[in-house]
Amino acid sequence: MPMRMGRTLRVVRTVALVAALSLLARVAGDAAPPASPIRTADLQSWLTYVSADELEGRALFSSGLGLAAGYLADHLREWGVQPAGDAGSYLQTVRILGVNATSRSSVTISVGGQSRTFTDGAGVAFPSFVGGKRSFTIDRVEFAGYGLDAPAIAERDYADRRMRGAAAIWLGSQGPKAATSAMRRQLAGRSRYATDQLGAAAAITAAGPRETAPAPAGRQEGPDFTTAQRLDAPIAPHVTAGRDLLDFLFSRAPVPYRELERRAEAREALAPFTLDGVTMRFEIDADYEVVRTQLGHNVVGIVRGADPRLADTYVAFGAHYDHVGYAEGEVTRDGGGTRRAGAPGRVTPGAEDDRIWNGADDDGSGTVALMALARAFAQGPRPHRSLLFVWHTGEERGLYGSRYFADHPTVRLDRVVAQLNVDMIGRNRDDDPAEADTVYLVGSDRISTELHAINREANAALARPLALDYEMNDPSDPEQLYTRSDHYSYAAKGIPIIFFTTGLHPDYHANTDEVSRIEFDKMSRIAQMIYETGRRLADLDHAPTRDNLGPRAY
């Protein structure tokens, strides 16, 4: 258009420009990420209380832990989070049982038309806790070599092996030659890996080299076992067998047992193979006598979803509010140095006078992050599904609170579409400043690839995305974190989980895990990422698909 324009035209043009600019401003206003519902100052003030000396290190069964439970309940009530514990309260009583067991369990093995039965204590040993009475037959028996999934040492004993419903047999207490002491946790967890993560119906290993029969477990002081789990729940047996049983089991196998035993002792290669024509019939039969009951509390709250079609389904959030407590013993200083008697964890040199393990990071950080999430959902936009918050007790003593909740849920567990677990998100791994943006995710892809993707998108949508690191999702990661916090109790029920942590550091389980060392800005960014992930899951029109493809991201 030529330049000779009249005044009216200029006025019109200016008005249009201003209108355009204000429209732009409004759009820009909308695009700017809304103010985060997670406020760093709140996290700091809550954690200062939760990790204060007056809470005595929040050990299970301590008054300090009781104070923490009351503090949580008071805030949930104030924010309008619904109680979801027992009888309309925020507290779920957790019963931790000391149990003596009388076993009549046995396994009958059939090989090439011949059968032999081995009873507990005579050629085979069952653990004291084998769950409820039941009998079942396994007709797929897999010899899994060393029973390791350790790509780092080129040991993939389960590659291309369909383990769900099969019996897994592994040998070699030390593992192959390439196995290092750093693999101590993985080596110790092989039976559990086979049953819990690969879905094997039973795991069998040798009692010990050259042992004809495992030594019967004499009755020791105190109960045979302590558990918060249902005594009648079906549990896949982990048994140890003597030479007699193993000779018979491998009597028609491509390689006889004695040769496998020799190779395992020599830490030579142990090629996996299927034992064709072999079946195992288990009679799980134990009587339990409860000889002690100890009580604790989970703290449980719900924010109801807005969509009536989806509000009876849940996105679950978890943390543990207990820690290891304090040292009852005194400090001794002598030629052997300075020691603190009765320390429930490590004593940081120079801090011997501090008798309280405050657990600011472990897991005070997760405890208050969950408080921020509960308030954000209770007071912010309400998603379609409901949100379930569980502050677990007794995690430090064996995942008691989460095991109990998973076996005695206060909502239907089959309505929980995913569980997001937070344990130690307040520091940099090894206190390395280069980790300022890094958070570790464990298990995000193991049960649901879709959950993994949703979390990645949620992070990418943040104003300041975090660096998501999957190093600890490696099945052969030395720390084996996948089995070491409360998400594991939900994963064991088939629920897709993500475990969020910033990793270990010099104050882990030390008396110097203090609030003064917490990276609050980082912690609130991680809480924001979890909020965003939870919101997306809660608005999803379907439950994340459970494809159970195991760990791939690492």
Positions that interact with Zn ion (CB under 5 A):
362-363, 423
Assign 3-state DSSP to the chain and report helix, strand, coil percentages, each to 5: 30, 25, 45
Shortest separation between residue 481's beta carbon and Zn ion, angstroms = 10
268 close to 177: Cβ distance less than 8 angstroms:
yes
- Burial class from Cβ neighbours inside 10 Å (0-12, 13-18, 19+) for residue 304 reads middle
Cβ-based nearer residue to Zn ion, 147 or 394 = 394
Half-sphere exposure of 547 (CA within 13 A, CB side): 12
CB of 24 to Zn ion, least distance (A): 48
Q: How many residues does the chain have?
A: 554
Which helix (DSSP H) or strand (DSSP E) does residue 97 occupy?
strand 91-103
Q: Between 363 and 514, whose beta carbon lies closer to Zn ion?
A: 363
The 3-class secondary structure across 246-310, one letter per residue, is HHHHCCCCCCCHHHHHHHHHCCCCCCCEECCCEEEEEEECEEEEEEEEEEEEEEEEEECCCCCCC
Dist CA 351 CA 19 (whole Å): 65
CB of 482: closest distance to Zn ion in angstroms? 14
**Shortest Å, Cβ 245 to Zn ion:** 39
DSSP secondary structure letter of residue 330: P
Choice between 423 and 469, CB closer to Zn ion: 423
Nearest to 330 by CA among 344, 319, 342: 342
Q: Which is nearer to Zn ion, 131 or 364 (CB)?
A: 364
Beta bridge partners of 388: 302, 316
Q: Which is nearer to Zn ion, 240 or 485 (CB)?
A: 485
Which of 554, 519, 367 is CA-nearest to residue 430?
Answer: 519
Cα distance between residue 262 and residue 268, in whole Å: 9
- The Cα–Cα gap between 48 and 424 comes to 15
Q: Give 191 or 501: the residue with its C-beta nearer to Zn ion.
A: 501
Specify the amino acid at residue 275. L
Q: Which is nearer to Zn ion, 144 or 422 (CB)?
A: 422
Instruction: Quote the least distance from Cβ 357 to Zn ion, whole Å.
Output: 12
Of the candidates 111, 129, 140, 142, which has an alpha carbon nearest to the alpha carbon of residue 245?
Answer: 111
**Please, what is the minimum distance in Å from the beta carbon of residue 442 to Zn ion?**
13
CB of 200 to Zn ion, least distance (A): 28
Residues 505 and 440: their CA atoms lie apart, in Å, by 13
Residue number with CB closer to Zn ion (148 or 360): 360
Residue type, 351: A
Contacts 24+ apart (CB under 8 A), 30-34: 33/462, 33/463
Q: State which H helix or E strand residue 27 sits in.
A: helix 7-31
Nearer to Zn ion, 157 or 423 (CB): 423
What sign does the dihedral 155-161-162-167 (CA atoms) show? negative
Query: Residue 20 and residue 14: Cα distance in Å, rounded?
Result: 10
How many CA atoms lie within 13 Å of 328's alpha carbon, on the beta-carbon side? 2
**Nearer to Zn ion (CB atom), residue 143 or residue 488:** 488
CB of 445 to Zn ion, least distance (A): 22
Closer residue to Zn ion (CB): 352 or 477: 477
Question: Smallest distance, Å, CB 383 to Zn ion?
Answer: 28
Residue 365: CB minimum distance to Zn ion, A: 9
Cβ 463 to Zn ion, closest distance in Å? Answer: 29
